[in-house]
Amino acid sequence: MSNTVKMPEGFEDLAGFAAKWARPNEHRRNAIRWSASPEEFAALYAAVMPRLDAMLSALQACPLDGMDEAHTNLFNLAAAFAEASPHEELYGGSAQVPHSFSAERFVPGHGNAPSTQERF
């Protein structure tokens, strides 16, 4: 994993996961999630779950609109984790949801909007 992604102080060790998973919108995060292996889900979960409270605390003080690059990367990693964690917790590391239609059929209308942009 590459460590070239900027992360806030104290989260530099997650830069490699951010390089793979942290994308600026839901459509791009979906593409990563749908192609992930069970090993990739397990590694993301093991790295982020113990740090999630600290990540959310660090983000709580940041304005959603206008975050610096490092905090935006942390936010996008947290969003990717929220979207990917059920695959580890409930689906045995499968990129597909059992007993459901193909995830690629679900296309959120806001999926190309940046996740950190205020939309409401």
The segment with the largest mean pLDDT, out of 29-33, 42-46, 61-65, 113-117, is 42-46
Predicted pLDDT at 8: 96
- pTM beyond 0.85, yes or no: no
Report which residue type is found at 41.
Answer: F
Any idea which of 20-29, 33-42, 53-62, 97-106 has the lowest mean pLDDT? 97-106
46 CB-near residues (< 8 Å, 6+ apart)? none
* CA distances to 3, 15, 49, 76, 84 from 7, in Å: 9, 6, 17, 11, 20
Alpha helices by DSSP H, listed for 1-120, are 15-21, 26-35, 38-48, 52-60, 69-89
Please state the domain extents for the chain.
Answer: 37-92
50 CB-near residues (< 8 Å, 6+ apart)? none
